[in-house]
Amino acid sequence: MRDIIAGFLRFQKEIFPTRRELFKTLASGQTPKALFISCSDSRMVPELVTQREPGELFVIRNAGNIVPSFGPEPGGVSATVEYAVAALKVTDIVICGHSDCGAMKAVATCACLDHMPAVKNWLRHSDAARMINESLHHTTEQERIDGMVRANVIAQLNNIRTHPSVALGIAQKRLNLHGWVYDIESGSLDALDESTGRFVPLAEHSSSRV
């Protein structure tokens, strides 16, 4: 905790003064262009990976970068998606998984989560991805986990399409969806290509979307 406090004090003293005009502008409102949905994993920092400034990304982070399907009792994720699309008018939504995801590893390996009932219940939103991934042949456990990460991104893209604000935005051709998977060790990023249904290197296919 001391390091966190020291970091804030350093920001307040050294960084904030050099960015004063930016924060003055942000104090009266925000106009992010994209909603970025990623995992809560401490190794995955959306603003760092995308090199975005404060105010440029509207971010949702949770275990497994999950977006529950829209239902009669919408939760915090649903409310945040709706606000981003209907109020902030974002033009792009990115759902980004990552390598070595603890949530997806637990699902792929059928790890016992009885001691974490809230986590166990939350990960049920990945059931469709789990069933699809289990139907495929994997030569190694790591391949099974990597497949789960990718299948989950696709499943969450399907889930987010059930949200009325998202469905309307797509129908009006003012909203684009993107599925990404970030590799922590290499720093590379794969994107879901709509024409093939496969994940391809974003560096070589920068226009990939779904």
Antiparallel, parallel or unpaired: β 57-62 and 199-201: unpaired
Q: Catalytic: 125?
A: no
As a whole number of angstroms, the longest Cα–Cα distance in the chain is 55
Contact by Cβ (8 Å): 143, 176: no
Q: Please, which residues have CB within 8 angstroms of residue 197's CB and are 6 or more apart in sequence?
A: none
Contact by Cβ (8 Å): 54, 22: yes
Q: Catalytic: 98?
A: yes
* Residue tagged active-site, from 3, 10, 19, 41: 41
Give CA–CA dist 87/30, Å, rounded: 11
Q: Catalytic: 43?
A: yes
* Residue tagged active-site, from 96, 98, 163, 190: 98
What Rg, from alpha-carbon coordinates, does the chain have? 18
* Residue tagged active-site, from 2, 100, 101, 198: 101
Q: Catalytic: 190?
A: no
Contact by Cβ (8 Å): 35, 84: yes
* Residue tagged active-site, from 2, 3, 20, 39: 39
* Residue tagged active-site, from 2, 20, 43, 138: 43
Instruction: List, by residue number, the catalytic residues.
Output: 39, 41, 43, 98, 101
